[in-house]
Amino acid sequence: MTFGQFTLIKINEGNKSIEFVEPLLIKWDSSYDESEKVTRVHIDFDFGMIYEIRPYCSISLGWLYDNINTDTSIEDIIKSFVKYDLFHSFFHCQFDPNYTIFHWSIRGWLKDRVELIDD
């Protein structure tokens, strides 16, 4: 098992930005299979929400946000997943069928901690 953490202060996607009035702390841990490949990652937001991703499964199915690939470091892959979900929560259409309770939760917990910039 591998552990890590990082703090987000500002993230950008094109001409959009999310600035955190109070920095967002993300902690994570990953599990491996017998071939030493990461199979699952648990991501823990500082407000108590935890979710699981299967990064290499997602990448093999074509999920390549932020130009990640199987050679990208696990921490950069995790940052990419978190960044995608944060932007999906705040900037994508809430009627999108991929906009789930998960995105509503992120939006609800963080709405008072962020400044959204759309230039």
pLDDT, tens digit (0-9, with 9 covering 90-100), for 87-101: 989 998 777 777 788
H or E element: which one contains 48? Answer: none
Q: What is the pLDDT along the chain (119 residues), one digit of tens a residue?
A: 789 999 999 999 999 999 999 999 999 998 877 777 778 899 999 999 999 998 888 888 888 888 998 889 889 999 999 999 999 899 987 777 777 888 889 999 999 999 999 98
Domain extent at residue 18? 2-118
Written as six digits, the tokens of 119 are: 């230039």
Q: Tokens for 99?
A: 């906009």
| CA–CA distances in Å: residue 104 to residues 2, 4, 43, 99, 107 | 29, 26, 17, 8, 5
C-beta of residue 87 within 8 angstroms of C-beta of residue 79: no
Global pTM reads 0.90
Domain count, the chain: 1
